[in-house]
Amino acid sequence: MLCQDETNREIANGGLFARDGVIEAVATTDELPQTADRVIDLSGHVLMPGLVNTHHHLYQNLTRLLPEAQDAPLFGWLQALYPVWERLSPEAFHVSAQLGLAELLLSGCTTSSDHQYIFPNGSRLDDTIAAAGETGIRFMATRGSMSVGESSGGLPPDALVEREDDILADSERLIRRYHDPAAASRLQVALAPCSPFSVSQELMRESAVLARKHGVRLHTHLAENTEDVAYSLERFGRSPGEYAEDLGWVGEDVWHAHCVQLDERDIRRFAATGTAVAHCPCSNLRLASGVAPVMAMLRAGVPVGLGVDGSSSNDGGHLLAEARQALLLQRLREGAAGCSVREMLRVATLGGARALGRADHLGALQVGYQADCAAFAVDDLWHAGAVHDPVASLLLCHSTNASYTVVGGDVLVDNGELAVLDLPGLLQRHRDMAVRLGR
Ligand code: ZN
C-alpha cells in the first residue's frame, strides 16, 4: 500500500478504514477494524491514492483520430476539427462526458477536471456537469471560452466564438449554481478562457477578476508548442509566462495546461508564484509539440499534475498509462536515474490534487483525507515476475485497469467492472453519435 503521506509510508499488507467518505485509519490489515459495511480483500493488489486528472476535453471522445486530424500539429489539428465540433449537441456533450469519465474511472482516476470551451447548438456546461454527477467521480468543471475568431486574427471560425459579456455572465451563473468549496465536494467550477490565440487579453483579465471575486480557480492552455510561443511573441511581444503574469494569470489559484515550451525564466516565474502545470505527455507526443521540462519544473518548485488531455489528441484517456508515458519521457530527457516511479506516482496523485487546489484532502491515503483510492492487481500476467517491487510495477509494467476505484468511500469500479452507468448502452449511443458526427 502506497500512502504518500508526510512520511511517504509504504505498508506491506496495508489497508484503510473509512467512515462517511473520510479515512479514519491507515494500518496493516491486522490492525484495522475487522468489520465494516463493506470489506474488500485486496490481496495481490497495490492500493494507492486515486489518480487525479488535471486536463481533459471530454467531448473530444466523439472525434477520436478523425483521418483529417490524425497527422497534423496543434494549429492544423484544431482547424481540421473546429468544423466537426460545430455540429455537437447538448446530448453529445452529455454522452461523451459519461464515456470519457467511465474510461478514467476504470484507469484508477478519482478526480477529473474538464475544459469545455465550445457551446454550439444550445450546449451548456450544465450538460457535462450533469453527466459527471451521474458517474460519482469528483469533478472540476471549467467554463472555457473563445472570443477571438478568424476575422479578428484568432484561430477558431467566427461561428464558434461567443460574446465576452455572455461568457462572463454565464461564468458567474455557473459558479453561483454549482461551485461547492467543501473538503468533500464532488463538484467545483473554474474559469478557463481557451488559449492566447482564441481569446482577448481583456477577457483573460476579467475572467481572473471574476474568479478571484468568487474564490474559484483559473485554467487555460499555455506554451503548448513553438507555434503557440511564436504567436505570443508576435502578437503580444511577450513570452507565454510574461503574457500570463501581465494578465494576472499566475498564482496558487492558477493551473496551465501543457507548458511544453516554457523557458527557464518562466519556470522560475511559475515557481515563485505557485502557479501549477497540467502535464499531458501523450497529447504532446501525438501533436509533436515536444517534451515538457517536468523534472526542471519540479526541481524549481512548480506544482505539476498529469492530464490525459482531450481524446482527439491522445487518443486514450487512461491516466495510469499517462503516468507511465510521463515517467518514460522524463527518463529520455533526464537520464535513467532522472525520474523515479514514486516521483511520477506522486505527480499523478498529490501533484494533481495540488494543481486543482485540493491537496489538503485529496491525493494521499492518510487519516482525515477523503477516502479516494485505487487498487491495481499485480499478480496477473502483466506483472508476472515483478515480485520484488509491486509499486514500481504499476508504471514499469504494462498499464492495466483498476480492480477497484473508490471515491469518498463509494466503490465506483468494483472487481474490475464499472458499478455506475450502463456501459454497453452508453457505448452504443456514443458509437452512433460518433458515426453521425464524422460524416
Ligand atoms: Zn487541451
Q: What is the pLDDT of residues 217-276, one digit of tens each?
A: 999 999 999 999 999 999 999 999 999 999 999 999 999 999 999 999 999 999 999 999
* Cα→Cα distances 97→50, 60, 196, 417, Å: 19, 9, 25, 18
Q: How confident is the model at residue 424 (pLDDT cuts 50, 70, 90)?
A: very high
In DSSP terms, which residues pair with 115 in a beta bridge? 142
Ligand 1 center from residue 433 Cα (angstroms): 22
Contact yes or no for 213/168 (Cβ under 8 A): no
- H or E element, residue 176: helix 164-178
For residue 439, is pLDDT > 90? no
Q: How confident is the model at residue 332 (pLDDT cuts 50, 70, 90)?
A: very high
User: For residue 170, which phi and psi values (nearest 5 degrees)?
Assistant: -70, -35
| pLDDT value, residue 301 | 98
Ligand 1 center from residue 257 Cα (angstroms): 7
Three-class SS of residue 230? helix
pLDDT digits (tens, 9 = 90+) for 346-397: 999 999 999 999 999 999 999 999 999 999 999 999 999 999 999 999 999 9
Ligand 1 center from residue 55 Cα (angstroms): 6
Q: Residue 125 CA to chain centroid, in angstroms?
A: 17
| pLDDT value, residue 6 | 86
* Ion ligand 1: protein residues whose beta carbon lies under 5 Å: 309
Ligand 1 center from residue 61 Cα (angstroms): 13
Ligand 1 center from residue 195 Cα (angstroms): 9
Ligand 1 center from residue 409 Cα (angstroms): 30
SS3 content of the chain, % helix, strand, coil (to 5): 45, 20, 40
Distance separating alpha carbons of residues 393 and 400, to the nearest angstrom: 11
Ligand 1 center from residue 48 Cα (angstroms): 27
In DSSP terms, which residues pair with 276 in a beta bridge? 255
| pLDDT value, residue 438 | 83
Q: What's at 156, amino acid-wise?
A: P
Ligand 1 center from residue 311 Cα (angstroms): 10
Show the cell assigned to 208. 481572473
Ligand 1 center from residue 83 Cα (angstroms): 17
Rg, the chain, Cα only: 21
Contact yes or no for 183/361 (Cβ under 8 A): yes
Show the cell assigned to 319. 491516466
pLDDT digits (tens, 9 = 90+) for 33-81: 999 999 999 999 999 999 999 999 999 999 999 999 999 999 999 999 9
Percent of the chain predicted with pLDDT > 90: 99
Output the DSSP codes for 188-203.
EEEEEE--TTTS-HHH
Contact yes or no for 398/382 (Cβ under 8 A): yes
Distance separating alpha carbons of residues 399 and 384, to the nearest angstrom: 13
Ligand 1 center from residue 56 Cα (angstroms): 6
In DSSP terms, which residues pair with 305 in a beta bridge? 278
pLDDT digits (tens, 9 = 90+) for 150-164: 999 999 999 999 999
Ligand 1 center from residue 342 Cα (angstroms): 26
Ligand 1 center from residue 29 Cα (angstroms): 41
Ligand 1 center from residue 47 Cα (angstroms): 30
HSE at residue 82, side-chain half, CA atoms within 13 A, is: 18
Global confidence as pTM: 0.98
| Residue 399 per-residue DSSP state | P
* Packed helices 90-106 and 423-437: angle between N→C axes, nearest 10 degrees: 130
